[in-house]
A and B are shown apart, each in its own frame.
Chain A
Amino acid sequence: MAERPSRRIVKELWQSGPGKAGLILLALLAVTSLVVIVSYPRNFGTGYWANPGYWADNPKSAPPAWTNALTREKRPRHLVIDIDEPAVSESTGRAFRRVYSEKSVFDADFPPTFVSFSVSNLQYSRRPPVLTVFLIRPDGGEVTLARRVASGPRQGEEVPYVRYADEPLRESVGADDRVLDSLSRIHGVDRQSMSASLEAALFGISTDEGGFGMLRGEYTLQLEALFQDEDDSLGSVRFVLGGSVYGVMGTDALGRDLALGLLYGLPVALLIGVATSTVSTLLGMFLGMTSGYSGGWIDLSIQRAADIVANIPVLPLLIFLVFIGGSKLWLILLVLVAFSWPGLTIMVRTMVLQLKTGLEVESAKALGASSFRIVFRHILPHAASYVLAQLVFFAPSAILAEAGLSFLGLGDPSIPTWGQILEYGFRTGAVFLGYWWWVVPPGLFIVLTAVTFMFLALGLEPVVDPRLRGRRSWHF
């Protein structure tokens, strides 16, 4: 053998159309997975994805931002404004006034879905500061959105008093008296007509028909803090104008950025596919070798066991075991491995039986080679390409099985997967409300990953045996 078999196989794969496509796709998926693994926080599943508070500022069930290009009317983008430094910092004689403000152009055909602000890391030493939030409209109208006073010192608390350090003060602007008063001054209409469409009133001008038309232009969002002492401070201020479109992939009903969840699903899916197929292939190969080489009652019992396991309908049992044992990813993988070895075992055994009586093994035996050496040097290399094909073949089944199980609500809650995103979408009715951006992409990702392995398997066909195709016991 002049060439290493692994290089020969890659070369042959590269020469076939599907093989080349599979290799390119696999490289692409692997690189993306690496980027995700490196850049995502360790506790993404539990600390971020499963934590609704983290996504509170995002619009709920919003389609991707690029869908604006497809519609005539422009829906507002999601706007988050973070301000760390005050624009104005001055002494008014009795207090220190700091103003945090930011200008933003609003040009959509619909009002923002909500307006909210948050404040974090407030520090004061004597009297709690007064915070006032304003919206200054392009027409000069000024609306007081909220006025808040931080809580006073507690019994025994030491100076400086720190507020909103762990949990920022986060508030949505609601239709309270102060807001409605300033709005009715601007629009000259009574308060009743505005409380129902507060955002439209904030960002619009009243029309003759009684509704509001959008007022495009530059708006200023402003927070004014009045401190008692010069050392009192405010960490950061955030304004959010809730959009009705969001990001590259949109959001789900909790406001979670689907792009983040979908990307995170990639390394997980690859892990599921590769881990399950590797372990089950090794197991299948080992059992097949043992069965074929040892013969006798060992052979018989392995073959009977393979016959029975191959005939067990996997999904019902998988549902049962994961339901009782708890939704853990390792358990799902373990059960998949436990049911996926028989096909390969039967095949490897047949090959071993043929090779065992062949000239090569006979000569090796004559030269005094140990059984171990015969199996590894004279039998295994011949079976290698079959085993490789099987390895590639198992992977999509495992990915699809996990996705199906997650869809039934048995996915591991600490590790978000595409199946779980689909499950949440299905359970909350996204399918029936037509939220395609939520239910189509996860499936496409599943298909893309599975197709990658299918392409590789197709590319391996000339290397191995065309009859391999269709030998799969489970597929949902």
Chain B
Amino acid sequence: MQVVKRLLVKGLTMLAVLLIVQFLVVITLGATGYSDRMLEAVISEELRAIRPSLAETIRDPERLEEALTARRDELVALYGLDRAWHTRLPGMVFRVFTLDLGEAHTLRSSSGSNRVADIVGERIPKSMLLLTTSMIVTAAIGLAIGARLSSRAGTVLDRVVSSFSAVSYALPTWWVGILLILFFSFRLGILPSGGMYSAPPPDGSFLRFLDLLYHALLPVFTLVLAGIGPYIYVVRTISVNIAQADHVTVARAKGLSDSLVSRRHILRVAAPPIVTGLVMGFAGTLGGSILVETVFNWQGMGRLYYEAIAGTPDEMVIVALTFVYTLIYVVARMILEVLYVLLDPRVRYG
């Protein structure tokens, strides 16, 4: 029962987050007149599309204009442009939820489509690839180093890593990426400065995969470098605290090996708070990935933000991106929440 209640509360909070972000977005769009302009653009688009076919049946130019005006009025009523913007809010929220946001001004998907849903849709897996890879690498390395450090608490190495973790709070992730490009790509010339594939990409799926890996090295490294400090620190501090608990002393007294004690008796107990640490860092990683994608020209959603801001602003693409990022965040938080419940028996039997 405890589990269900906890997950339900979390789930409702997350749903509220999603809804509130949606309403904030559409209210802003409505109050600033963006939604009116967007709907007007949609209507003119449709009118342009039916004009040739109407012109074939109606010869008289005056009658044609009349028919078009009538059609325009119908569409205005259909989309609710004749009503105040706040009466259209639920409709707009629905449109955002289904990514039914019309067409972008200048941005195109790789297949040439100008629909916002297509443009954003094809970028999601690319962003997810970067995000999940760096999360997993961060978690793995953070666990390994943090656990190791906890048995060396107080040594020089421990202090060095601890201060690195503090300083890494002050590092702008994307600037670290720029430094890495300057060094590895410009100075040494051994790694690509950006993009996802070489031009032209190599033949064969395995070679293409290797090429992708080669291009992902620097962005993943940047994200890991920025996120790992605090994570190591969390793992280390929690493990140090647990290592002093009685059950660990008992385990050691039984003569269990260090690695077994560390795995079964320290890390197992430390697992739930470590997951909490991961949760704390996730929002940062998400934000960091937007900027890191921009720096490395990684063709994901983060880079799309940059492309939609620079040049001709594509506001609907930005609306879609903000929604998808919030969605990803909410889903990831729920997954971590379930993980927490699975790891912490106290929640299940509490």
By a beta-carbon cutoff of 8 Å, the part of chain A in contact with chain B is 18, 304, 307-308, 311-317, 319-321, 323-325, 396, 400, 403-404, 407-410, 422, 426-427, 431-434, 436, 439-440, 442-443, 446-447, 450-451, 453-454, 458, 466, 469-476
Using CB atoms, name the residue of chain A closest to B183. Answer: A436
Given A317-B24, A426-B178, A440-B182, also A409-B172 (CB < 8 A) = no
Of residues B14, B174, B277, B280, which shows the largest number of chain A Cβ atoms within 10 Å of its Cβ? B174
B170 x A450 contact (CB < 8 A) = yes
Q: How far is the CB of A413 from chain B (nearest CB, A)?
A: 13
* A-contacting 9-mer, from B64-72, B140-148, B283-291: B283-291
What are 26 A-B contacts with C-beta separation under 8 Å?
A: A308-B16, A312-B21, A317-B24, A320-B319, A321-B24, A321-B28, A323-B315, A324-B28, A324-B315, A325-B28, A403-B175, A404-B291, A407-B174, A408-B294, A408-B306, A426-B295, A431-B181, A432-B181, A432-B186, A432-B193, A446-B175, A447-B175, A454-B170, A471-B280, A473-B280, A475-B283
Given A312-B326, A315-B287, also A472-B169 (CB < 8 A) = yes
B120 within 8 A of A: no
B310 x A315 contact (CB < 8 A) = no
Chain A residues within an 8 Å CB radius of B166: 18, 454, 458, 469
Given A320-B28, A324-B34, A427-B310, also A313-B174 (CB < 8 A) = no
Chain B residues within an 8 Å CB radius of A450: 169-171
Q: How far is the CB of B313 from chain A (nearest CB, A)?
A: 7
Given A315-B290, A324-B34, also A308-B322 (CB < 8 A) = no
Q: Given the complex of chains A and B, what is the CA–CA distance between A304 and B13 in angstroms?
A: 8
Q: Given the complex of chains A and B, what is the CA–CA distance between A314 and B326 in angstroms?
A: 9
Chain B residues within an 8 Å CB radius of A410: 309
Chain B residues within an 8 Å CB radius of A471: 280
Q: Given the complex of chains A and B, what is the CA–CA distance between A475 and B223 in angstroms?
A: 12
B287 x A313 contact (CB < 8 A) = yes
Q: How far is the CB of B139 from chain A (nearest CB, A)?
A: 15
Q: Given the complex of chains A and B, what is the CA–CA distance between A314 and B185 in angstroms?
A: 31
B233 x A312 contact (CB < 8 A) = no
Chain B residues within an 8 Å CB radius of A400: 170, 172
Q: Given the complex of chains A and B, what is the CA–CA distance between A50 and B319 in angstroms?
A: 30
Given A308-B13, A320-B28, A320-B319, also A315-B286 (CB < 8 A) = yes
B309 x A404 contact (CB < 8 A) = no
Q: How far is the CB of A328 from chain B (nearest CB, A)?
A: 13
Chain A residues within an 8 Å CB radius of B178: 422, 426, 431, 439, 443
Chain A residues within an 8 Å CB radius of B34: 324
A446 x B294 contact (CB < 8 A) = no
B230 x A314 contact (CB < 8 A) = no
User: Apart from A308-B13, A434-B186, what are 20 other A-B pairs with CB-CB below 8 Å?
Assistant: A311-B330, A315-B325, A316-B287, A320-B318, A321-B24, A323-B315, A324-B29, A324-B315, A403-B172, A404-B291, A410-B309, A432-B186, A439-B182, A443-B172, A443-B179, A447-B167, A469-B230, A470-B280, A475-B283, A476-B172
Of residues A304, A408, A422, A426, which shows the largest number of chain B Cβ atoms within 10 Å of its Cβ? A408
Q: How far is the CB of B338 from chain A (nearest CB, A)?
A: 16
Q: Given the complex of chains A and B, what is the CA–CA distance between A308 and B330 in angstroms?
A: 11
Q: How far is the CB of A101 from chain B (nearest CB, A)?
A: 44
Using CB atoms, name the residue of chain A closest to B186. Answer: A434
B187 within 8 A of A: yes
Using CB atoms, name the residue of chain B closest to A405. Answer: B291
B161 within 8 A of A: no
B32 within 8 A of A: yes
Q: How far is the CB of B305 from chain A (nearest CB, A)?
A: 6
Q: Given the complex of chains A and B, what is the CA–CA distance between A404 and B326 in angstroms?
A: 18
Chain A residues within an 8 Å CB radius of B182: 431, 434, 436, 439-440
Chain A residues within an 8 Å CB radius of B16: 304, 308
The residue that B333 contacts in the complex, of A311, A426, A432, A434, with Cβ under 8 A, is A311
Q: Given the complex of chains A and B, what is the CA–CA distance between A98 and B321 in angstroms?
A: 66
Q: Given the complex of chains A and B, what is the CA–CA distance between A436 and B187 in angstroms?
A: 11
Chain B residues within an 8 Å CB radius of A446: 172, 175
The residue that A317 contacts in the complex, of B32, B169, B326, with Cβ under 8 A, is B326
Using CB atoms, name the residue of chain A closest to B169. Answer: A454
Given A324-B29, A404-B174, A408-B305, also A311-B181 (CB < 8 A) = no
A312 x B17 contact (CB < 8 A) = yes
Within B209-257, the residues touching A (CB, 8 Å) are 230, 233-234, 237
Q: How far is the CB of B146 from chain A (nearest CB, A)?
A: 12
Given A451-B170, A470-B277, A472-B280, also A409-B306 (CB < 8 A) = yes
Q: Given the complex of chains A and B, what is the CA–CA distance between A169 and B218 in angstroms?
A: 49
Q: Given the complex of chains A and B, what is the CA–CA distance between A443 and B167 in angstroms?
A: 14
Chain A residues within an 8 Å CB radius of B174: 404, 407, 476
Given A319-B318, A426-B178, A427-B310, also A473-B283 (CB < 8 A) = yes
Q: Which 7 A-B pairs have the closest CB atoms?
A: A450-B170, A315-B287, A443-B175, A316-B325, A475-B284, A313-B329, A476-B287
Chain A residues within an 8 Å CB radius of B309: 319, 323, 408-410
Chain A residues within an 8 Å CB radius of B260: none
Q: How far is the CB of B259 from chain A (nearest CB, A)?
A: 27
B315 x A447 contact (CB < 8 A) = no
Q: How far is the CB of B187 from chain A (nearest CB, A)?
A: 7
Contact with A along B328-350 (1 / 0, CB 8 A): 01100100000000000000000
B25 within 8 A of A: yes
Chain B residues within an 8 Å CB radius of A474: 283-284, 287
Chain A residues within an 8 Å CB radius of B280: 470-473
Chain A residues within an 8 Å CB radius of B277: 470
B169 x A396 contact (CB < 8 A) = yes
